[in-house]
A and B are shown apart, each in its own frame.
Chain A
Amino acid sequence: MFEESKVAFFLAKRSIVRGNKGTLYLTILIIGMVFVNLIFLPSIISGVAVLFNQQTIDYSYGNLVIEPKENQVYIKSADELQRKIERIPGVTGVSPQYVSGTTIVYKGNEVTPLLYAINPDDDRRVLKIATKVASGEYLADGDTDQIVIGYRLAGNYDERQDVIPSLGGVDVGKVVEVTYNNGVTRQYRIKGIINSDSYDVDSNAFITKNEYESVYGFENQANQMLVRTEETGNEDAMRTTLMAFGVQEKIWTWEEKSANFLNQIIGSFNIINFIGTVVSLVIAIVVIFIVIFINTVYRRKQIGILKAIGIDRSIIIRSYLFQALFIFALGTVIGFGFLAVILQLLAANPIVFPGGPVAPVVDAMLIFRSMVSLLVVSLIAGYVPAWLTTREDILTAIRG
């Protein structure tokens, strides 16, 4: 077996070194491109997933979301629960909040966004919304007659530029009228406008929790409580810890809260990616197959001669497999080179998605998977034509 492989390697090496260089280089280039294609799109999809995940944590849910107990609308004794959770090791912030629908009117423009009522200081320890103020300022704990809104909600003077129903281009300092579910209507001055790249956040409105409680007559309650932990990725363990510390409310991880939305996006991308991958691999198999097939057909007589002088068929097939392996190996290296250049270009000029700039995520598993699939395809595409040509009767082959 080893002796046969040595002879096959010898034949393959000489064929590569002294054979047609143009065809060889072109084939290697195509395999390199296929390799790039196998890596690039999945890396962008992974990048999008990472971006959306991080946005979900930073702007929507933190790491954990605590909701009222079964059959309850509000979390009772929210302050006590907040303090209890804040003392748990690994927790870096807790933000109790109310979320409800509301109606906001400005100069005849009426919108019905979600209204978040927050303690601004607590909110800063959990979410990053406060860092994304496009104009004006974020809320402060003592604010009562002020509101912060997302830029999509603020809208544009030219409503054709709006993505959602808006207030028609309201600016910081203007006064809007907010009507609550209980029928109370109050006027608020716009303190700031948020532009976070998060679709949800930029479509919402924010007031202080104190103001909300004064409208509804609530005290020391919350709809939900967002929890930020030191580390992302160990949410399940932190949930267990919170339960061990006596938290009886329902606890969700950010992944559970956003599962449907994210899964839909990733699911759709994966279908595109699957089609792209299959097309790439078909291109690879066809190219290598054609190159090896033409090579073997062109050398049909030579193959017959080799068999006639006692070179075993398996050696000849193996020599073509080695050539296919070489094309794969060099193609992969070239592909890595292309990929490195593309990643550098993308680092300098990132692709901007609605959620923000996307950095491609190239992990070892993705590279490994792409290499293995390309290797298998190369071996099949090298083996089949060699097998087909070498099974021909010696005399028929020699006669051409």
Chain B
Amino acid sequence: MIIGTDLKRYYGLGAVQVRALDGVSLKIQKGEFVGVMGPSGSGKSTLLHMLGLLDRPTSGSLLIDGVDVGALDEQARTVFRLRRLGYVFQDYALVPELTARENVYLPSMARGMTPQECTLVCTDILGVVGLGDRIHHLPSQMSGGEQQRVAIARALVNRPALLLADEPCANLDTRNSKVILDLFRKLNHDLHQTIVMVSHEEWHKQYFDRIISMKDGLIETDIQGGPEGASGGEPSG
């Protein structure tokens, strides 16, 4: 699914050079729910940006779904993001003038689906994230948890090969965080959805199949875990 080899991302030059990623190699299989964890500045978000094609590595190669994404031009990367990736941001990042359904509608519309197909798939996916009765609400009329679920629906609407989530619970309270994490695990389990999620909350670990811990731009540990007991999991602090 994902093969990253010696990925490096350096910012700046000379003495002020920052090595955000300093040679990361990793493989992620289809259907895995991977948590990327680590302290601030460890490189976890940079790695997610690489996987989400939002940034290019200074060196190294990256294959996603069999495609060498480093070789794609900007136009092709945009199409790749639209058709094969889903991205969930920390702050929901919904278009404020669009209702829940319209926000979800947008990527499918851009993909060239007919209005009927868009409506069908949007209604369906909003049902999956539990917002079937909120489809006509604007973001300003929804709670943070609901907005994040809309963002997840938007990320999933084109049936992406890979779902990336950048600290999706950072702005949510524990109850809403749990709803989101349960949803991710359900999607992973039911739809066999590959998910890579960045988090720094210890209690999130119980949801992940695998936990990649990063430090100073390198992978410190890569541990296979299990979601057993996660549905009943509680935050530690």
Q: Which residues of A contact B (CB under 8 A)?
A: 3-4, 6-7, 10-11, 14-15, 17-19, 301-302, 305-313, 315, 394-395, 398
A309 touches B154 (CB 8 A): yes
B75 touches A302 (CB 8 A): no
A10 & B78 in contact (Cβ 8 Å cutoff): no
In whole angstroms, how far apart are the Cα atoms of A19 and B95 in the complex? 11
List, sorted by A's number, 13 A–B pairs whose CB atoms are closer than 8 Å: A6-B109, A7-B110, A11-B95, A11-B106, A15-B97, A18-B97, A18-B138, A19-B97, A302-B95, A308-B87, A310-B78, A394-B55, A398-B93
Q: How far is the CA of A394 from the CA of B81 in the complex (A)?
A: 12
Given contacts A3-B112, A7-B110, A302-B95, contact A311 B82 (CB under 8 A): yes
Contact B81 A310 (CB under 8 A): yes
User: Chain B: which residue is nearest A310 at the CB level?
Assistant: B82
Are B89 and A305 within 8 A (Cβ)?
Answer: yes
Known: A7-B106, A10-B109. A309 touches B81 (CB 8 A): yes
B83 touches which of A3, A14, A310, A315 (Cβ 8 Å): A310
Which of these, A308, A311, A395, contacts B106 with CB under 8 Å?
A311
A295 to chain B, nearest CB (A): 11
- The count of chain B contact residues (Cβ–Cβ below 8 Å) is 30
Q: Which residues of B are found within 8 Å of A14, using beta-carbon distances? A: 95, 97-98, 102
Taking a contact as CB atoms under 8 Å apart, the answer to whether A310 and B110 are in contact is: yes
A6 to B112 Cα, complex, angstroms: 9
CA distance A308 to B88 in the complex (A): 10
- Contact A311 to B107, CB < 8 A, known contacts A302-B95, A395-B49: yes
A161 to B106, CA, bound (A): 75
Contact call A312/B109, Cβ cutoff below 8 A? no
- How distant is B144 from chain A, measured CB to nearest CB, in Å? 16
Q: Is B218 among interface residues, defined by CB-CB distance under 8 A?
A: no
Q: Complex formed: what's the CA distance from A398 to B107 in Å?
A: 18
In angstroms, Cα B52 to Cα A311, docked, is 14
The reply to whether B138 and A395 contact each other, CB–CB distance below 8 Å, is no
Set of chain A residues within 8 Å of B52, measured between Cβ atoms:
308
Closest chain B residue to A306, Cβ basis: B95
- 8 Å CB interface, B64-109 against A: 75, 78-83, 85-87, 89, 93, 95-98, 102, 106-107, 109
How far does the alpha carbon of A395 sit from the alpha carbon of B89 in the complex, in Å? 12
Q: At the interface, yes or no: B54 with Cβ under 8 Å from chain A?
A: yes
Q: Are B78 and A395 in touch, CB under 8 angstroms?
A: no
Of the listed residues B49, B83, B97, B155, the one surrounded by the most CB atoms of chain A closer than 10 A to its CB is B97
CB pair B82–A309 under 8 Å, yes or no, is yes
Nearest CB of chain A from residue B112's CB, rounded to whole Å: 5
Dominant secondary structure at the A interface: helix
Most buried by B among A4, A10, A313: A10
CB neighbours (8 Å) of B93 from chain A are 301-302, 305, 308, 398
- Collect the chain A residues with CB atoms within 8 Å of residue B54's CB: 308, 394-395, 398
CA distance A6 to B105 in the complex (A): 12
> A312–B75 contact, CB under 8 A?
yes
Closest 7 CB pairs of A and B: A310-B82, A18-B97, A310-B81, A305-B93, A14-B97, A3-B112, A7-B110
Question: Which residue of chain A has the shortest Cβ distance to B154 in the bound complex?
Answer: A309
Q: Is the CB of B78 within 8 A of A313?
A: yes
Give min CB distance, B44 to chain A, whole Å: 15
Distance between B78 CB and nearest chain A CB, rounded to angstroms? 5
- Within the assembled complex, what's the spacing in Å between the Cα atoms of A6 and B115? 11
Cβ of B102: which chain A residues have Cβ within 8 Å of it? 10, 14
Smallest Cβ-Cβ distance to A307: which chain B residue: B78
B151 CB → nearest A CB, Å: 9
Most buried by B among A14, A302, A308, A310: A310
Choice from A309, A311, A313, A398 contacting B155 with Cβ under 8 Å = A309
A310 touches B85 (CB 8 A): yes
- Assess whether A7 is in contact with B97, with CB atoms less than 8 Å apart: no
Chain A neighbourhood of B49, CB < 8 A: 395
List the A residue with the shortest CB-CB distance to B91: A301
Measured CB to CB, the nearest residue on chain B to A10 is B109
Please, which residues of chain A bring their CB within 8 A of the CB of B86?
309
Chain B residues within 8 Å of A18, by CB:
96-98, 138
Closest B residue to A394 by beta carbon equals: B54
Note all chain A residues with C-beta closer than 8 A to B89: 305, 308, 398
Min Cβ gap A174→B in Å is 81
Partner of A308, one of B81, B97, B98: B81
Given A18-B138, A308-B81; A315-B110 close (CB under 8 Å): yes
Q: Which residues of B contact A17 (CB under 8 A)?
A: 97
Query: A2 — nearest CB in chain B belongs to which residue?
Result: B112
A14 to B95, CA, bound (A): 10
Neighbouring A residues of B138 by C-beta, 8 Å = 18
